[in-house]
Structure 1
Amino acid sequence: MLSICHKAIALAAAAMLSLPVMADEVQVAVAANFTAPMQDIAAQFAKDTGHVAKLSFGATGKFYAQISHGAPFEVFLAADSKTPAKLDAENATVPGARFTYAKGTLVLWSKDDKTVDAKGEVLKTSKAPHLAIANPKTAPYGTAAIQTMTKLGVMDSWQSRLVQGENIAQTYQFVATGNAPLGFVALSQVFKDGKVTSGSAWIVPQDMHDPILQDAVLLKKGESNAAAKALLEYLKGSKAHAIIESYGYGL
């Protein structure tokens, strides 16, 4: 009887070990500039771990407001380092979990092949009716665009012709649809595997604006979520890094 009992226990244990690990979901707020790479990373993350990353895209400033008012996000991938640091100071994050996942690059872009020259001289000569930028109050890429134009001494000539997108995704749409002949967007929106995929572009030198260091944080709501912690670790790994770099980001 004892041996039969032991055998039954062993079989039950073996059956439990053979069961798949339960996958979890994680709610992720993602800066709009990181849309394409994060979609690729989330797909690979699901394939490798079984966990599902539920992604929401938007402006960093708006996500900050939503998180401060209790939005159910567990991981936040911001477009800057200041906003996550602010959330750290407000005890909205898990201490010690913040890190820079990507270094962003600003680009002046037009869907037309001949509008933008390789040195950005078009900013000094163009009579275009509109130039699109992201809202500098909520989107770090918008701040970088203002800093670039100020440093070039062209801010005054463009001031009345600026059109602002709510975030960098809407800014890209203004240019892609031709509503603005050119605009400052994230390189990742027009770049893949070492080249600009369409139109004409000037990749803005990094010394023209403050560094766009994009930080990730584990929010308090994700503190006990295995998928949230796994995603942040995955972002530090070689597979995620390869995807990030393929879209023109630095690490």
Structure 2
Amino acid sequence: MSTVFTNRFSGRTAVITGGASGLGKAVAARIVAEGGKVSLWDLHAEALAATAEEIGASHTVALDVSDEAAVLAAAQAANAALGRIDILIASAGITGATATVYEYPTDSWKRVFDINVNGVFYSCKAVVPFMLANGYGRIVNVASVAGKEGNPNAGAYSASKAAVIGLTKSLGKELATKGVIANGITPATFESPILEQLPPSQVEYMKGKIPMGRLGEVHESAAMVCFMASEECSFTTAATFDTSGGRTTF
């Protein structure tokens, strides 16, 4: 289920990381349906090509967002292909290992931070100059309720999403008078390919923390992201928006 606001993104362009699946794909499809153009960035080239054809993306880049040079080059390419960059949706992310902090594999910890934190930082750093040059921008960084509450056996993921929240708050305050708005979304667990990275017991634990008693649906978070990415979101920045079924209310 989704509601389309006709032409809300007419004339607007968006870069979407993790755009081949899950929330990134859902947001991309909606922006295109509402009149915008999108550049999809994703690690998985085959899925990226299929998604681009399915939703009508204008531009794609297969890359690892933990590679700063690749991200900077992708931003240049997207700006050239789209003519400008109005919107950034930083949704690329991984869960990492399921383990206690004191048993957590260091290589997985580092990889989670490379993708979930450094990837968001590099993406923001790469696109903000284009937004500043145009005097307009909307940035949505995808965090998680885990960044507010912490989930046991998910220390790297929880810590990385807390870092995304802090980064977004700093960025939003820095840009508050420059026409560029930066906010984060903090979803509870929703149906997404990322759940395949977790054991069923971990998914059931997270579902059990949601007062509504169910997992979210991707269109629910996509609707919130699209509001945050639109001109309608004009007086809120450096904030987080929950789509958590009542799990977090702060």
TM-score (norm 1): 0.29
- Structure number with the higher strand fraction is 1
TM-score (norm 2): 0.29
| Structure exhibiting the larger radius of gyration computed from Cα positions | 1
